[in-house]
Amino acid sequence: MNNNSESKDFQKKTYEELYSNLNFALYKINNPFRSYFENKIVSLALRNINSTEMSCLDVGCGHGVTTYMLSKHFRSVIGIDFSESAIQTAKKLLDKMNVTNAKVFVADFDDLYLKEGCADVIFIKDVLHHVDNPKKLLEKLRPIAKSGLTIGAENNGTSPFIQLSGRILKHERRVLKFNKKYLKNIILSAGFNKVDIWTFSYFPYSFRIPIIANHRLRFFLPIIAKVEDFLVTTKFNMFANYLVYQTI
């Protein structure tokens, strides 16, 4: 077994375990802090895009949380992921949330052969830093979108919180090299002509820490959001947790 295969098997095993829990997916939707975080990323990625009559392919959909968020913005959404347990959870989640315009399927990126132009928009979140060759994946995805429009988000390796998670969690190790410049270079080298990247999030929304995510603290959320909106306009934007992008 080569290193690439070992890495892929490790990632698959990790997410088979992580995304098999429906309650974890529901937590992301129902917790005010995490729900704000998930919605904000989708809203930023869709900046200046009228998506209501468009179709979307959600690549690396995991347990379906992002697919659910996208379903509120697109006419139809297809989510794909290589984890069978994640897709089973995603199906349960979409059913529980009464989503009728989204479906999810098991699909491996390495064996992904979809008709060119079969979706209006490609959405890809937290996937590039997990694959061995992100450029190759983007090259494969680019023709699938009718207009070549691909949107998504990646962890920012210059963020102190992301640095911490990348050093602690083995399956997040590759995130350490991801930053705005690195992401832009990968996207453009994959054949895209233009890319816009925005930064978002200083609060550790994605860390499931009870005292941070407590429902009783939700009245702090508008204050946190305003502070974050200000920080991205300053030189501290390079330390934000997320890079949200549009490319064509």
Condensed to tens digits (0 to 9), the pLDDT of residues 141-152 reads 999 999 889 999
Predicted local distance difference test score (pLDDT) of residue 140: 93
- Distance separating alpha carbons of residues 96 and 90, to the nearest angstrom: 10
Counted domains in the chain: 1
Per-residue pLDDT reduced to its tens digit, 16-28: 888 999 999 999 9
- Distance separating alpha carbons of residues 104 and 234, to the nearest angstrom: 39
Mapped onto helix, strand or coil, the DSSP state of residue 203 is coil
Name which residue leads in pLDDT, 35 or 9. 35
Q: Is the pLDDT of residue 213 over 70?
A: no
Q: Which domain holds residue 191?
A: 3-247
**Stretch 111-123: mean pLDDT, rounded?**
91
CATH of the domain at 50: 3.40.50.150
- Distance separating alpha carbons of residues 248 and 226, to the nearest angstrom: 30
Q: Is the pLDDT of residue 135 over 60?
A: yes
Amino acid at 239: F
Tell me what the pLDDT averaged over the chain comes to. 91
Give the pLDDT band (50/70/90) at residue 217: confident
**Stretch 106-131: mean pLDDT, rounded?**
91
The pTM score is 0.93
Q: Is the pLDDT of residue 1 over 60?
A: no
DSSP bridge partners of 104: 79
Decide: 35 and 29 in contact? Cβ < 8 Å: yes
